């Protein structure tokens, strides 16, 4: 029994949270602040082989967002208690604030002027 507890504790310590981030559209290029647009939970049976329905999570109308799929501690506990028969994933949709102030751009951003001076040593 003691070996089983040690093995179980070691396996629990070795498990890590899994996160997958997928950028959609112009999400990465937009310089404004991120916020959580929507959340959802996907439930699977038989070690992730059979989905129980499909979670419908809203996305911004612009289509620019980041989909974050994460397996956190609560998801690991559900999977562990059911021996993997039922597993869950947490889904977050992140978007950019549209009303956030844009960073000021210099007037000549994109136009570079180089001055070349010809200095001769003739005196």
How would you write the pLDDT of the chain (123 residues) with one tens digit per residue?
888 777 777 666 655 577 888 888 777 777 777 777 788 888 888 887 888 878 788 777 777 888 888 888 888 888 888 888 888 888 888 888 775 444 444 444 443 323 333 344 444
Write the burial class of residue 116 (CB in 10 Å: 0-12 exposed, 13-18 middle, 19+ buried).
exposed
How far apart are the C-alpha atoms of 39 and 58, rounded to whole Å? 8
Q: Report yes or no on whether pTM surpasses 0.75.
A: no
Cα dihedral 41, 44, 49, 50 sign: negative
* pLDDT given at position 13: 61
Looking at the DSSP bridge assignments, the partners of residue 45 are: 50, 86
On the CB side of 68, how many CA atoms lie within 13 Å of its CA? 15
pLDDT computed for residue 114 by the predictor = 33
State the Cα–Cα distance between residues 39 and 89, nearest whole angstrom: 11
> Residue 33 and residue 94: Cα distance in Å, rounded?
10
The secondary structure element, H or E, covering residue 103 is none
Positive or negative CA dihedral for 82, 86, 87, 92?
Answer: negative
């Amino acid at each position: 029994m003691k070996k089983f507890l040690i093995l179980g504790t070691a396996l629990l310590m070795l498990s890590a949270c899994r996160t997958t981030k997928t950028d959609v559209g112009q999400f990465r290029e937009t310089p404004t602040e991120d916020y959580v647009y929507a959340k959802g939970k996907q439930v699977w049976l038989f070690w992730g082989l059979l989905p129980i329905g499909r979670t419908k999570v809203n996305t911004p109308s612009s289509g620019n967002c980041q989909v974050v799929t994460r397996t956190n501690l609560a998801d690991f506990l559900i999977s562990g208690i059911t021996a993997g028969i039922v597993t869950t994933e947490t889904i977050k949709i992140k978007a950019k604030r549209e009303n956030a102030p844009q960073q000021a751009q210099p007037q000549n951003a994109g136009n570079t002027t180089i001055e070349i001076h010809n200095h001769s040593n003739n005196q």
